[in-house]
Amino acid sequence: MTAAVLPAEPEPPTPAGQLSKRPRGRPRKTEDERDDGNRRQALLSAAAHLFRVQGFDATSTRDIAAAVGMHSGSPFYHFKSKDALLYAVMEEGMHAAIARQAKALLGAAPDQPLVQIRRLIRAHFDTLLGPGNDFVPVMLYEHRSLNARQRAALAKLQVDYEAAWTPVLEALHASGHLRAPVKLSRLLILGALNWSVQWFDRKKGASLDGLTDAAMALFLKEC
Amino acid sequence: MTAAVLPAEPEPPTPAGQLSKRPRGRPRKTEDERDDGNRRQALLSAAAHLFRVQGFDATSTRDIAAAVGMHSGSPFYHFKSKDALLYAVMEEGMHAAIARQAKALLGAAPDQPLVQIRRLIRAHFDTLLGPGNDFVPVMLYEHRSLNARQRAALAKLQVDYEAAWTPVLEALHASGHLRAPVKLSRLLILGALNWSVQWFDRKKGASLDGLTDAAMALFLKEC
DNA sequence: CCTACCGATCGGTAGG
DNA sequence: CCTACCGATCGGTAGG
């Protein structure tokens, strides 16, 4: 976890129409301006971690505030509701996942679906199980706590993410490496990977490469 | 869902210090005493359904009481805490799952691992997706809400359940139908199946047999 | 971003 | 199983 224990001395708010003992306007951070979007990002990371470990409902906004050295009401200065914070965590997770996936596919030629699928799987494990990657697991397991509007917005990102799998699976189906229908294959494969969040233990020394090998061996035929 | 829609007419509250028009004491059930463990079971079913649809934290004990026509404090006559109710739901789910699995395996000869795995998969889909089977999905997705003691007790049942898969997967590995390591295969396969709870839609006309076919085709080699 | 606080909800209980 | 209630927690806010 990266949440600061000692907060960077947040400046007291200057209320509307009232005298403040401090200079008006944005306080001139002498040289370093280390807390611009910084506090917001700290809240996001702390929330992602706590939501993942304890669950959304079991985590109070006070917990999150304390994790970054704020007081109980302060998170609402950055996020208008606990829900909005949850949504922001998930959105950031999906953006990172899509970027990681696109990057992974860059090195694989389109006519090598076996290489592509391996990279997709490996990138997915990274997103789920990589150190500090709490954001997507939260999305997978706290989906229900979103309202309809938020869910719809996230669904678009998920469609984008999963869209990358379809042509690869179709190529594998055509070449005989995949026997099950493409759509069901995608659902079952992603399910198998997603479930790893429940049992994978980083400390037990298992490697994401080993996991990827096993998944490849399980899902793909040799021809 | 089996929760009564029309609750059994919970009598209007008799305010404090006022005479009740009804006889005191336990009402004599004329002949049938149809609600011995009956109310308890009704609570279990209603809780399983609500926990599955809304989640454990988002379901209040008042919701559950209302679903079976009780008043807010009454569930605690049957279960000493909300946690205990959750645990009871999961335990009942696991007992049913183990029984269903054992029954499915009865008809398959030990030397036919392809038949056995198909039956294991089909029984698992039944447990997860069959009509009215809310209990095991609750177990899969509300695990975190248990305390350590309850989690340990359930873990034993899960070990029992998964134990049935190992010899079958070993036979398939030996015969070349399975290429990935047995233990990782079990984890990945069960994950793929468990995740179906997230996307399977009974109304869309998909059949559990079709799903089973797809899973077989995805996981197993032809030889 | 802090202080001080509110209103609502919730699990649980005593006593019948 | 109902009545009446309590104590605690929690998301959120006004005002500074």
* Helix axes of A165-174 and A148-163: crossing angle, nearest 10 degrees: 40
Contact: A193, B191; criterion CB under 8 Å: yes
Which amino acid belongs to residue A154? L
Contact: B187, A193; criterion CB under 8 Å: no
Q: What average pLDDT score do residues A136-156 get? A: 95
Q: What average pLDDT score do residues A50-62 get? A: 96
CA distance B190 to B173: 16
Q: What is the pLDDT of residues A194-207, one digit of tens each?
A: 999 999 998 787 89
Q: Report whether B91 contacts B157 (CB < 8 A).
A: yes
In Å, how far is A175's CA from the nearest CA of chain B? 14
CA distance B96 to B102: 10
CA distance B48 to B56: 9
Q: Report whether A192 contacts A215 (CB < 8 A).
A: yes
Q: pTM, whole model, 2 decimals?
A: 0.86
Give which of B154, B177, B188 to mutate to test A binding, by max A Cβ within 10 Å.
B188
Contact: B188, A218; criterion CB under 8 Å: yes
Closest-CA residue of chain A to B141: A141
Closest among A139, A149, A129 to A90, alpha carbons compared: A139
* Higher per-residue confidence, B96 vs A222: B96
**How high is the pLDDT of residue B93?**
98
**How high is the pLDDT of residue B203?**
79
Tell me chain A's radius of gyration from C-alpha atoms. Answer: 21
**Confidence tier at A120 by pLDDT (50, 70, 90):** very high
Is residue A29's pLDDT more than 90?
no
**How high is the pLDDT of residue B204?**
84
Chain D nucleotides reached by a protein CB under 7 Å: 1-5, 9-16
Query: Which residues of chain B fall short of a pLDDT of 70?
Result: 1-36
Q: Which of B181, B198, B218 sits opposite A214 (nearest CB)?
A: B181
Q: What average pLDDT score do residues A97-125 get? A: 96
Q: Residue B213: in which H helix or E strand, if any?
A: helix B208-219
Question: Percent of chain A at pLDDT above 90?
Answer: 78
Tell me chain B's radius of gyration from C-alpha atoms. Answer: 22
CA distance A2 to B208: 45
Is residue A192's pLDDT more than 80?
yes
CA angle (B81 as vertex; B80, B83 as ends), nearest 5: 135
User: Domain B83-219 class?
Assistant: mainly alpha
Q: What average pLDDT score do residues A45-71 get? A: 97
CA distance B105 to A92: 45
Residue A215 near chain B (CB below 8 Å): yes
Closest-CA residue of chain B to A213: B180
Contact: B218, A190; criterion CB under 8 Å: no
Closest-CA residue of chain A to B222: A221
**Confidence tier at A27 by pLDDT (50, 70, 90):** very low
**How high is the pLDDT of residue B109?**
87
**How high is the pLDDT of residue B36?**
60
Residue B145 near chain A (CB below 8 Å): yes
Q: Which residues of A touch B198 (CB under 8 A)?
A: 191
